[in-house]
Structure 1
Amino acid sequence: MTTLTSGTTGKTGVRALVGLILAVSMTTIDQTIVALSAPTIQSQLGLSHDGIQWAVNAYLLATAAFFLLGGRLADVVGHKRMVMVGIAAFGVTSLLCGLAPAGDLAEAWLVGARVLQGVSGAIMFPAAIGIVVQSFSREGRGRAMAMFFAITGAMTAIGPMAGGYLTAWTWRSIFWVNVPIAIVAMVVVGLSAAPSPRRAERVDRVGAVLVALGMGLVVFGFQQASGWGWTSPGVLAALVGGVVFLAAFAVHELRTHEPLVNLRAFGDRGFTISTLATLFSSVAFIAVFFFLSVYGQVSLGLSATLTGVLFLKLFLGFVIASRFGSSMFDRVGARPVLAIGGALGVAGFGWLAATVTDLDFDHSAFLNQQTWPIALAGAGVGFMLSAASTDAVNRAIGASYGEVTALSQSMKNFGGAFGMAVFTTLVTGQLTTRLTASFEAMGATAADARKAVDLVTGAGGDGGAPSAVHERVMAAVRTDYAGAVQWAFTGMALAMAVLLVLAALYPRDRRRTA
């Protein structure tokens, strides 16, 4: 059994690690837990399609916009202080999400609480990395970081699984479950983590505003592209405006004496490639939860609980492979880990894309023809994700672990938003074309097909769509969605293929700064 060696803190370092994993797991679970429960939330609160879509996406947008500020605050104010603030705020905002009232206030309440949740997570995550780094000696730090990223990354798959079971009781419990976790995490971290000194430095407020506007507008543009169209003035204005603000942010950061984040970190080729690997793997990893959820409920006709079993298969592949990937990273560095993870991901997502249109099997059985491609896809991401994240942090400049973590995790959220936007646009377009042809062949109209598309995709994975569509066209809905979602899984395989190129470009030296 692998042991962790802490530095000056003895066993308290291990206890702090456990508390931090609990805390950060709340943020990764909440990236995906709402998607599966969205139909229930929408119907019980009376939300519009756009309202529930924003309840799903607002968290991702807020996290991406404020991660860099969170990293800088952690380095300046102190890691322990910011972790405790982040945990407490996440618990409170989770409680607020669960208390959302039905009626006219529902959308504003739930979306606003999700934004505050995202900001809380952005404050917590970079500070947690700083505590892990300072709590373990050089000998034990690699294993601690690998365990941290492997477990918190795997919790992304736990979200939909847990959401299916919790929603059977009440959808509010998917948020309320965070409250006792936050309390336990605060106690454990408060008693175990050593305080870090406050630095006599300023926080770059101008940079914080520029990057928040830039990331927010770009992510907003990606998210709205599927509904408004990529060529709509609103989407183009958001994307162009976001790029302008990000360019202004980069110029400002390179000129200011105390920047929000040291962009010269990208001068390290290994850091740049590991960060890009996190981005492209997230294009596939974040999006797969959404599309598996809709596919399970629409094409396979599974309940929300049984759809969660699909994520269990993904989770098992992720966890098993992450153990081997972390061990290989310790021995030989990131280059071969990225290559193997990319190859496994291409094989898994490609295999799933090739078989997704065959619906003639026992959908409720755990072991069926789709078990192995789903598990292999999870294994591809799991094998490389913790290694890429750990490698980026190991290459931190000086002690700016908060800054480097914020850069890496911002790219993860950015990749997830980009993947969701591109794949949703592809799938919606394909589904519209296929259903229009199918409906017209049965005497229905293109408008009827458009309604069916909205029911399937408009609420971020509306599991109630089958009951809302007339039974005589349900066969067309099931098969046509399976054909449409094939494009998304193919795109995920292509995103993982980029990792093979990145691995070839990774520096051959094994330098990993402690």
Structure 2
Amino acid sequence: MLIATIDGSIVIISLPAIFRGIGLDPLAPGNIGYLLWMILGYLLVSAVLVVSLGRLGDMFGRVRMYNMGFAVFACASLALSLDPFKGGSGALWLIGFRVVQAVGGSMLTANSAAILTDAFPTRQRGMALGVNQITALAGQFLGLIVGGLLATVDWRAVFWVSVPIGIVGTIWSYRSLRETGSRRPGRIDWAGNLTFTAGAGALLASITYGIQPYGGHSTGWTNPLVLGGLSTGVLLLVIFCVVETRIPEPMFRLSLFRNRAFAAGNLAALLTSIARGGLQFMLIIWLQGIWLPLHGYDFERTPLWAGIFMLPLT
């Protein structure tokens, strides 16, 4: 959990150094897409896949999915550090393997809490899950500092740091973890998986393109593709909700949202993430590109100091 969440914040704080390393100006009008997908690609894939991968873990073994996630994460981290290209090709390489890395990270995130739930008795379960959650929050905190520090050394070092942890973690998990929960075999909810994945993907991708310039406008909310993607995404998610109430073994039991504590807790988590994520995105660009240079900080040092200035937010 630590390395999965470190990787979420380590890249966002290091983006200026990464783009300088591949010789690309991310704020040029034609390159803004590279910038957004570098940030949002990992998060989009994680948001879309974590529910489906959690359900597959229930069916085929949580430890098996967790171990596979570690292996995928380690391989993608190595590939990211070996980017052989410059310019747009280099950016596409990084975006592509960040997506692969997100698949591995989603396997870890989706199954870690379930493995702990299986492994700990009821009287210790809250403590175990609390430690797991604090570890995830610590990853966001440490990623800003580690990313800022490594970006001043070499932009590739931002990705190197994940490689040894991924390799050691893969070996450790294969050697040490055992299935302690009861596996619940069942049919894969293909209709639910496909409608949720396609709907969430279309919706989030359309939002990503909606904040890019289009046709002389500073944003793309008038882009027919964006409007079509938003409509399609919402429609598919409505179909997903209908499907999940009609089949005996759904991917996700929507009846959970009848529990007010569960529904309110998820809503609060969503609103907190929106507030923190939006502010973090703006502050990182503003600190590294405007405020720190105007106050005497060299561009080479701005990633580290931006990370330090961002610590109160985490």
TM-score, scaled relative to structure 1: 0.54
Counterpart for residue 224 of structure 2 = 233
Counterpart for residue 423 of structure 1 = none
Distance 1:31 1:149 in 2: 15
Counterpart for residue 263 of structure 1 = 254
Distance 2:292 2:35 in 1: 23
Matches within 5 A, 1:436-475: none
Q: Please state if 1:68 is matched with 2:45.
A: no
Question: Is the contact made by 2:4 and 2:139 (CA closer than 8 Å) also made in structure 1?
Answer: no
Deviation at 1:124, TM superposition (A): 1.7
Distance 2:200 2:82 in 1: 29
Q: Please state if 1:244 is matched with 2:235.
A: yes
Question: What is the Cα-based RMSD across aligned positions, in Å?
Answer: 1.8
Deviation at 1:203, TM superposition (A): 1.6
Counterpart for residue 28 of structure 1 = 5
Counterpart for residue 393 of structure 1 = none
Matches within 5 A, 1:35-434: 35-47=12-24, 48-103=31-86, 105-195=89-179, 196-227=181-212, 228-297=219-288, 298-301=290-293, 302=297, 303-315=302-314
Question: Is the contact made by 1:94 and 1:179 (CA closer than 8 Å) also made in structure 2?
Answer: yes
SS in structure 1 of the partner of residue 132 of structure 2: helix
SS in structure 2 of the partner of residue 31 of structure 1: helix
Question: Is the contact made by 1:158 and 1:311 (CA closer than 8 Å) also made in structure 2?
Answer: no
SS in structure 1 of the partner of residue 8 of structure 2: coil
Deviation at 1:185, TM superposition (A): 2.4
Distance 2:99 2:284 in 1: 23
Distance 2:164 2:134 in 1: 23
Question: Is the contact made by 1:87 and 1:185 (CA closer than 8 Å) also made in structure 2?
Answer: yes
Distance 2:3 2:200 in 1: 23
Question: Is the contact made by 1:67 and 1:122 (CA closer than 8 Å) also made in structure 2?
Answer: yes
Question: Is the contact made by 1:46 and 1:102 (CA closer than 8 Å) also made in structure 2?
Answer: no
1:220 alignment partner AA: A
Runs of 4+ in structure 1 off by over 4 angstroms are none
SS in structure 2 of the partner of residue 199 of structure 1: coil
For residues 409-428 of structure 1, the C-alpha deviation after alignment (integer angstroms, 9 at most, x for no partner) is: xxxxxxxxxxxxxxxxxxxx
Distance 1:278 1:39 in 2: 29
Distance 1:132 1:143 in 2: 10
Question: Is the contact made by 1:95 and 1:175 (CA closer than 8 Å) also made in structure 2?
Answer: yes
2:310 alignment partner AA: F
Distance 2:20 2:152 in 1: 14
Deviation at 1:197, TM superposition (A): 4.4
Question: Is the contact made by 2:189 and 2:251 (CA closer than 8 Å) also made in structure 1?
Answer: yes
Question: Is the contact made by 1:161 and 1:311 (CA closer than 8 Å) also made in structure 2?
Answer: no
Counterpart for residue 365 of structure 1 = none
2:221 alignment partner AA: W
Deviation at 1:277, TM superposition (A): 1.0
Question: Is the contact made by 2:144 and 2:308 (CA closer than 8 Å) also made in structure 1?
Answer: no
Structure 1 unaligned regions, length at least 5: 1-23, 316-514
SS in structure 2 of the partner of residue 202 of structure 1: coil
Q: Flag the 1:102–1:87 CA change in 2: closer, same or farther, 3 A.
A: same
**How high is the sequence identity, in percent, across the aligned residues?**
33
Distance 2:260 2:167 in 1: 40
Structure 2 unaligned regions, length at least 5: 25-30, 213-218
1:261 alignment partner AA: F
Deviation at 1:217, TM superposition (A): 1.2
2:167 alignment partner AA: I
Q: How many residues align?
A: 292
Distance 2:171 2:313 in 1: 32
Distance 1:202 1:182 in 2: 32
Counterpart for residue 28 of structure 2 = none
Considering Cα pairs closer than 8 Å and 6+ residues apart, tell me whether 1 or 2 has the greater RCO.
2
Deviation at 1:191, TM superposition (A): 4.2
Question: Is the contact made by 2:276 and 2:313 (CA closer than 8 Å) also made in structure 1?
Answer: no
Distance 1:187 1:111 in 2: 27
Distance 2:191 2:102 in 1: 21
